[in-house]
Structure 1
Amino acid sequence: WASWCGPCVEEMPELQRFAAAQGADGVQVVGLALDEAEAVRAFLRQVPVDYPILLDRPGPADASVRLGNTRGLLPYTVLLDRQRRVLRQKLGPFQPGEIADWAAAGTGPD
């Protein structure tokens, strides 16, 4: 996500609700900000989230590209397993209520 990405900003409350509903054994949400550190800090003061936020500089070798975002567009979401293997990828924003179904489809039954 990035502070200047409108669709990213719009889906953050939905990601926050999903993260809060997961509990200790559920899917862990981690935000990856492709932005300047001060812009991220300022944004999070206005729109706080409880899940961890990592920071990377946007560019041709940023973390989203390394995770398969070959088009370099945002928002970009990746579901990883415990061994950090990519299970699912989504380019573009989630619709309300879509995240839980998307994650469940990627993790399969326990």
Structure 2
Amino acid sequence: MKPLVRNTLILAVAAVAGFAGYLTRHAASPSRPAPPQVARDAGAPILALELPDSNGQPQALAQWRGKVLVVNFWATWCPPCLREIPEFAAVSRRFADAPVQFVGIGIDQPDNVRRFSEENKVPYPLLIAPLQTLAVTSALGNTSQALPFTAIFDRQGELDFVKLGTLNEAELEGKIRALLASR
């Protein structure tokens, strides 16, 4: 084998191996219930948020107390977020007549969120937040303050589940059904 071909092949294999290692280290964390060291009231800072919707109207997350609340931090510039939202929208539509509320918190510009919502017919409120709002997720295990990040609260407003990374439709629906069946 010629040295140039061999070296190119070695570099290609090394690049693929390096990329695979990167993906392994940075893959979405497995879903898990709220970390045991985090109290079920640790989600209180999220429930205390009051953020503008894409039209500038303030919306308090506390207004949805009494419902299973799915809070998803996302952005239009986040590819995993964009893959996840259609599944969230589908699950939201399935639970339209149940005491379930989805809320998206866009770490983004209002125009981007408004355009995304209109183009994708997102059936739940999308609120706007500055990047520093992600700090409320640090105590819930999102120490890197990455996206997407989802927190699910039971009907009493207690944190039940958190996930850093994408949450698939079946898992999301299962978590909601379990919370609706309890209490």
TM-score normalized with structure 2 length? 0.52
Aligned length: 107
- Using CA pairs under 8 Å that are at least 6 residues apart, name the structure with larger relative contact order, 1 or 2: 2
Q: Are the counterparts in 2 of residues 30 and 51 from structure 1 also a CA contact under 8 Å?
A: yes
- Cα root mean square deviation, aligned: 2.0
Structure 1 residues 58 and 90, CA, compared in 2 at 3 Å: closer, same or farther?
same
Q: Are the counterparts in 2 of residues 3 and 9 from structure 1 also a CA contact under 8 Å?
A: yes
Task: Flag as ranges the 4+ runs of structure 1 deviating above 4 A.
Answer: 105-108
Bigger Cα Rg: 2
How many percent of aligned residue pairs carry the same amino acid? 32
The 5 A counterparts of 1:1-110 are 1-59=74-132, 62=133, 64-67=134-137, 68=140, 69-105=142-178, 109-110=182-183
Structure 1 residues 70 and 103, CA, compared in 2 at 3 Å: closer, same or farther?
farther
Q: Are the counterparts in 2 of residues 29 and 51 from structure 1 also a CA contact under 8 Å?
A: yes
Structure 1 residues 96 and 18, CA, compared in 2 at 3 Å: closer, same or farther?
closer
5+ residue gaps, structure 2, are 1-73
Instruction: Measure the CA separation in 2 of the matches of 1:86 and 1:103.
Output: 13
5+ residue gaps, structure 1, are none
Pairwise CA distance, 1:103: 3.0
Q: Are the counterparts in 2 of residues 87 and 107 from structure 1 also a CA contact under 8 Å?
A: no
Q: Are the counterparts in 2 of residues 77 and 90 from structure 1 also a CA contact under 8 Å?
A: yes
TM-score normalized with structure 1 length? 0.82
Shifted more, 93-102 versus 73-82: the winner is 93-102
**Higher helix fraction (1 or 2):** 2
